[in-house]
Amino acid sequence: MRMSASAALHKGSSVLDLLYTPFSEFEFIQRALVGVIAIALGGGPIGVFLMLRRMSLTGDAMAHAILPGAAIGYLLAGLSLPAMTIGGLAAGVVVAMAAGLVSRFTSLKEDASLAAFYLLSLALGVTIVSLRGSNVDLLHVLFGTVLALDDNTLLLLASISTLTVLALAVLYRPLVLECVDPIFLRSVSRAGTPTHLIFLGLVVMNLVGGFHALGTLLAVGMMMLPATAARFWTSDITMMMIVSILIGIVSGIAGLLLSFHAELPAGPAIILSAGVVYVASLLIGREGGVLWLAWPGRHLEA
């Protein structure tokens, strides 16, 4: 269906049509667009905080950690939204809390304990899915189905991003303070540990949301790529979050168009688009981009 639709569109149409018509004509593309906007809204700011807290790889590890939970949900109920969501949330929360507590109360650092947890989770998750499903199901779990989002999934994604934005607004100060000067935070308030745990909870929620659209392996891409790209454009945290959301949305639109016209799988196309923005930002970004470092211009007077 997709091939004939895009072939029909390609006959005698302007550039504007190519950019606009997929979104105006095809409901599954509209749904995918709504889905990626919701994911960008929540995932961008979460990614910024993951990056600033030097937890970029933690996000990746946690994305793998939700897999066995989602897989058990799948084993019990097939490709069911509630079962896989609850399973993924439960597994993600357990691993995040376990890794967080291990790093706080033992000498093992969080990255080390997460690395152990996520390798186990990935192996376990793939094994569980294979117990029952076909390779198609395995692909669904690993790479998502952004072009087949139903109403309930969209509602879930929208709820997650709403909750995320509200929670970040409330937790903003302790989150920032815990990054810059955790000792000061501990000396003025006991909010440090609960803030950290709630933040990890938000990370898991957004990963589970992203998981439905992009799969476990790519969900973290909509968090980290827009956030790291945004770091090259501004040094203000609020602006960084806004820029990361915009980059996420633009990558989503570009990825969907790429997928539609070039017959590429949509999830990877979206992440690749975000990757292109990241590399471009890395090269030309005003805040420490490679080109500005190589040719900084004449120095100032003072």
List residues near other proteins by CB under 8 A.
Answer: 52, 170, 173-174, 176-177, 179-181, 183-184, 186-189, 191, 235-237, 240
CB of 46 to other proteins, least distance (A): 17
Closer Cβ to other proteins, 135 or 187, answer by number: 187
For 203, the token pair is 């990370």
CB of 36 to other proteins, least distance (A): 27
Closer Cβ to other proteins, 17 or 111, answer by number: 111
Closer Cβ to other proteins, 23 or 172, answer by number: 172
Closer Cβ to other proteins, 177 or 208, answer by number: 177
CB of 181 to other proteins, least distance (A): 5
The alpha carbon of 294 is separated from its chain's Cα centroid by a whole number of angstroms, namely: 31
Question: Which runs of consecutive H residues, i.e. helices, occur in the chain?
Answer: 2-10, 15-25, 27-52, 56-77, 81-105, 110-132, 135-143, 151-180, 182-188, 192-218, 221-231, 237-262, 266-284, 290-294
CB of 281 to other proteins, least distance (A): 15
CB of 178 to other proteins, least distance (A): 10
Buried b (16+ CB within 10 A) or exposed e, 257-294: bbbbeeeeebbbbbbbbbbbbbeebbeebeeebeeeee
Question: CA 205, CA 54: separation in Å to the nearest integer?
Answer: 19
CB of 240 to other proteins, least distance (A): 7
Closer Cβ to other proteins, 152 or 235, answer by number: 235
Phi and psi angles of residue 26, each rounded to the nearest 5 degrees, phi first? -115, 120
Q: Give the amino acid at 163.
A: L
Closer Cβ to other proteins, 10 or 173, answer by number: 173
